[in-house]
Structure 1
């Protein structure tokens, strides 16, 4: 019966352990990057939410169904990414094949969803995007959150209203809201429109001297189109890192399975050699002993 060479198996085990440590280091590096990204998403979401919200409004928005604001969505996505990444992180540390395979599966689902979103985003033209964008100016006077966000949007993008400043025609503002008066021509008639102060670039004593005439929907679409290449490069970069994470996770799971199989085989081989050695010791006949016949006694 031939017995496998134990020294050769030890060499294969050492080489396999070295490969597994290298792959595990790369996977831990990628998961650490994802943990940082998820943490930044959560911090950013809480920062934005804390800037524009208070606790009473949080419960009011949850009751009214307007819970998924961009800041809350950022927090949720960050937590999901953090949970998925922690599965891979602890799976790598504990050398758990199940957790590493689960991490690769979840990353594959996220990668597929991102790929679909990127394809749909680049397939849409500006006119189609325009129909999807909505700036709820009709809730400006009744919703403190929407008021703060629209004011910030109008100042940052130098815009006014959803389609134009005429969206504020007939809106009843309260005394706590800063407004200005705009004088304009509509269908040949001279009318005055009360708009938020954030719509005005230069404020006079009574009237607005210089308006932000562009609608916020057009401004948002222009911003997205201008930065589409940057967004695409960032999206492809993140997807490439996720693909590397999937590949390294599958390779690590394969190495862990091989290493466990090698350990089991070595343990079985050592036990088999010990049993064979004991059996050989029992069956061995001592050849160095000389047989001496007993002497015969005689009577005189």
Structure 2
């Protein structure tokens, strides 16, 4: 009876971990969608390579979501084939996550290039863009308290006089406040948006890394308990 009781505990632990994975998969999908929206709508980063991370998060979330559902069914029905398939698939997911983390570390320097190119492109297109695009750029500069890509001087081509910046660059925003204030540190933010955007991304990435480590630990425990359940099922003990 002691063995049976132990296996019953393992069964519910496997079910519990799979339910957590199911929620994690759903969370990854939501985070991926929010990051994608943020990159394009708020941070104005339109580089195709920048979409790789959120798309990967969404894809990984969908896979984890489906595998976790599969694992829940296997644990509840005490089906050796389903539980073993779950353990194999989850192990592959863990390996893929480790590979993704290594690639992210190797190519971490690309973030600077992507942000720089996107912000430069943003400035060059500003005058000829739609009101929605201009509003998004203005919101970015106002919220991050920055101006231009590297400094306010990036807006030299904004006007024919070469001494004006968008009003969103102003420390105190008002209609026409950017007129003739290109290099006026008392009225216009001098810090470029590149550093501000990179700082924001790095801060968010740190939280993503912490969450990924926690999820990976839970996944490893889930695989361990799944293996224990497989061993119990194979040995012929009844798990109720």
Name the CA shift for 1:41/1:225 in 2 (closer, same or farther; >3 Å): closer
Q: Does 1:215 align with 2:192?
A: yes
Partner SS state of residue 255, structure 1: helix
Contact 1:52 1:145 (C-alpha < 8 Å) held by counterparts: no
Alignment partners' CA distance in 2, 1:84 and 1:146: 40
Change (3 A) 1:228 1:80: closer
User: SS of the residue aligned with 1:201?
Assistant: coil
For the structure 1 residues 70 and 154, does the alpha-carbon distance in structure 2 shift closer, same or farther, using more than 3 Å as the test? farther
Which 5+ residue runs of structure 2 have no aligned equivalent?
41-45, 179-185
Cα deviation per residue 1:185-222 (whole Å; 9 max; x = unaligned)? Answer: xxxxx732343x44333124422373333333222333
1:200 lines up with 2:183 in the alignment:
no
More strand by share: 1
1:191 matched to 2:162: yes
- Higher-RCO chain (CA-CA 8 Å, sequence separation at least 6): 2
Residue 21 of structure 2: SS of its match in structure 1? helix
Aligned-pair distance for 1:244?
A: 0.9
1:241 to 192, 200, 218: 218
Question: How far 1:257 moved relative to its partner?
Answer: 1.6
| 1:112 partnered with 2:95 | yes
Contact 1:34 1:82 in 2 (8 A): yes
Relative to 1, partners in 2 of residues 1:76 and 1:205: Cα closer, same or farther, differing over 3 Å? same
How far is 1:159 from its partner? 2.7
What's the counterpart of residue 26 of structure 1? 13
Query: Larger Rg: 1 or 2?
Result: 1
Using the size of structure 1 for normalisation, the TM-score is 0.56
- Extract unaligned runs of 5+ from structure 1: 1-13, 54-60, 172-180, 184-189, 264-300
Q: 1:23-62 residue pairs with structure 2 within 5 A?
A: 23-43=10-30
Higher helix share: 2
Q: Quick check: 1:203–1:210 contact (8 Å CA) kept in 2?
A: no
Distance 2:149 2:206 in 1: 25
Count of matched residue pairs: 220
CA contact 1:100–1:253 (8 Å) conserved in 2: yes
Kindly indicate whether residue 112 of structure 2 is the aligned counterpart of residue 130 of structure 1.
yes
Alpha-carbon distance, 1:230 to partner: 5.0
